[in-house]
Chain A
Amino acid sequence: MASHAHHSDEFDPTADIPKPQTKVIWKTFFILVAITAVEFAFAFMMDPGTLRNAIFIGLTILKAFYIVAEFMHLKHETKGLIWAVLVPTVLLIWLLVALLVEGTFYGESVFNYFN
């Protein structure tokens, strides 16, 4: 920001550049790696089932939160923007639930066609 006035035309390597502030970035990275490791632990140490799937989906949403909130910086935007992005995704949950139910019904009708 301070560099506008005197050297706006060419890059000057001697200009003052503030120190990087990367603590939060690396912290977020380690959280994401840790969650992924936990996901693998569940994949190999727990039998498949509804509970395991629920854990996977919960951890996925947690990972998504860290990516969107910190990496995409949404947490630090205005409330209006946060809601404008998040609210429409509710429709996706509806779509998902509706079509999973539909898929089960469709499969059952095909499997029991001659009964």
Chain B
Amino acid sequence: MSQTTTFEQPNTGTWDGGNEPFKVSYGKLMMWFFLLSDAFTFAAFLTTYGLARHRHKAYEGTSEAFTFSTEWWPIPDKVFNAFPGFHGVDWPLAFVALMTMILILSSVTMVLAVEAGHRMDKNDVQKWLLWTILFGSMFLGCQAWEWTHFISGTDEGMKLADGSVIHGANLIVNQYGPPLFADLFFFITGFHGTHVFSGVVLLIMIFINTVNGVYHRRGHYEMVEKVGLYWHFVDLVWVFVFTFFYLV
């Protein structure tokens, strides 16, 4: 009831809500501030990675002679070099390149859905939301595979001084290097993956609403824009994770 009243008689005075200094709706503004706070969380994670990396020794030798050791921080090319269906083949960063492409594509289909919403084109909104859900799910599938491989490890594993060999990584042991490397891999990519998962859930919700014509009746597709902001932020975080975890 009170909502209807608000719509019919908007407050126009400067100090009773009639003034919008940022020219965006309350929902969009709060999404921006939420994303800013989320950026702080992710930056704290990546900064922790940087701290842990600087606290450990860097690998000094040539790339060809590299072996996994707890003595030094691993070279990412040597850790992330597996591809589904090509067991034991050394394809450095190929799979993560594919994942990056999928996520950038999902960002494009998302912004196309927002654009269709501006034109009140329900069919196009549905189409592009479905593509975004598909690419988002593909990314999650890729991440599930990457985690599985990271946890189960390579055939060679890491030889310890007492002659035993460890394969793969968990929160305590890590065949690729210092245990902190695996811990941070799980925390950072896991936290990002959780965000992608939440994004896919939100996308499915607004897809159902779009199909039911909720936004068309409302007269605007602003909810698609707000979820779009969140989705682009997830892509933005991946850009930084990609650089600081896989490239540097």
Contact = CB atoms under 8 A, between A and B. Distances in A.
Interface of A: 1, 3-4, 8-11, 13, 15, 17-18, 20-22, 25-26, 28-29, 32-33, 36, 39-40, 43-44, 48, 53, 56-57, 59-60, 63-64, 67-68, 70-72, 77-78, 80-81, 84-85, 88-89, 91-92, 95-96, 99-100, 102-104, 106-107, 110-111
> Which bracket fits the contact residues of B?
35 or more
Contact of B50 (A22, A43, A78, A96): A96
Contact of B22 (A20, A43, A84, A91): A84
Contact of A103 (B24, B40, B55, B101): B55
A104 B236 CA distance: 28
B104 A20 contact: no
B122 interface: yes
The secondary structure that dominates the B interface is helix
Contact of A18 (B21, B97, B119): B119
Given A20-B121, A77-B24, A95-B47, 20 more contacts: A3-B120, A10-B213, A10-B216, A11-B122, A17-B120, A32-B104, A33-B104, A64-B239, A68-B236, A71-B110, A78-B21, A81-B23, A81-B29, A84-B32, A88-B40, A89-B39, A96-B43, A100-B47, A100-B54, A103-B50
Given A9-B217, A56-B247, A107 B54 contact: yes
Interface of B: 21-24, 29, 32, 36, 39-40, 43-44, 46-48, 50-57, 75, 77, 92-93, 97, 100-101, 104-105, 107-108, 110-112, 115-116, 119-124, 213, 216-217, 219, 228-229, 232-233, 235-236, 239-240, 242-243, 247-248
A32 B239 CA distance: 10
A20 B248 contact: no
Contacts of B54: 100, 103-104, 107
The 8 closest A-B pairs by CB, nearest first: A103-B54, A103-B51, A107-B55, A60-B243, A81-B22, A92-B43, A103-B55, A99-B51
A4 B220 CA distance: 9
